[in-house]
Amino acid sequence: MTNDTETTKEKEAPPTADRSRLAMGWYRLVQVTVATLLSSVSGIRVSGRNNLPEHGGALLVSNHVSHLDVFILGIPLHRPLNYVARSTLFLPLLGSFIRSVGGFPIQREGMGVQGLKETLRRIKKGGIVVLFPEGTRSRDGELGELKSGISVLASRARVAVVPAGIAGTFEAWPRSRAFPLPHPVRIHYGPPILPEELEGLDTEAVTALIRGRILECLDVARAGLQRDLQNDPEKTAVGRIGKLG
């Protein structure tokens, strides 16, 4: 992608070891379908995508304000994502779909032993696992306190922890609304936190570091969204997914 006003093709994705070719084909189909649907009603613009590692396991951590966040985070990326989802979502049909695109369940109260093991297993297979370390969607659009389990996981995984900030999905579909409305969206992926940066830090310090990086990404995303709205007050930036460097 060349700039924030053009639609361009993604580069060929590198091979992935964390799922079969068939599963990858299905993931791409869902990815393109969701991208098309969302782009038809809201502009999605992205920055910092090159901060995601091209291969190997990683954690992607983000703020969480809307049902849309899970879909939004994966749309611009070459590599497929694995999603942590609360166990109550794994109903007969919905659960099968979530699993088919890389989702796996955890208990609502926290990740637990099984969730931790599954997350580490997928990371060791070279996958990227998405986590929303607040544990639930924000009620006011602001980043809440992070669950302490994120520090344990980050320290155990010893892989890059990539922070991300999403702006606009709270206005599009907050938890208080039954249905989404069109609204421009910005995503910013920040520089990864490397395992060496976590060495010697206690649980609180690791959690604070990750939260601070997510806040930085959120500030970038919000500033970009504000520029979009000022330059395009009628929200005509609809129907495209663009990159901002």
**DSSP one-letter string for 185-208:** EEEEEPPPBPHHHHTT--HHHHHH
User: Percentage of the chain surpassing pLDDT 70?
Assistant: 85
Segment among 8-17, 29-38, 117-126 with least mean pLDDT: 8-17
Residue 110, classed as helix, strand or coil, is: strand
**Per-residue pLDDT reduced to its tens digit, 85-130:** 888 888 889 999 999 999 998 865 556 788 889 999 999 999 999 9
- 37-46: average pLDDT: 83
233 confidence band (pLDDT: 50, 70, 90): low
Q: How far apart are CA 185 and CA 7, in angstroms?
A: 15
Residue 108, classed as helix, strand or coil, is: coil
**Is 70 exceeded by the pLDDT of residue 238?**
no
| Amino acid found at 18 | D
Q: How far apart are CA 101 and CA 104, in angstroms?
A: 9
Question: What is the reported pTM?
Answer: 0.86
CA–CA distance from 32 to each of 38, 59, 74, 76 (Å)? 10, 23, 10, 10
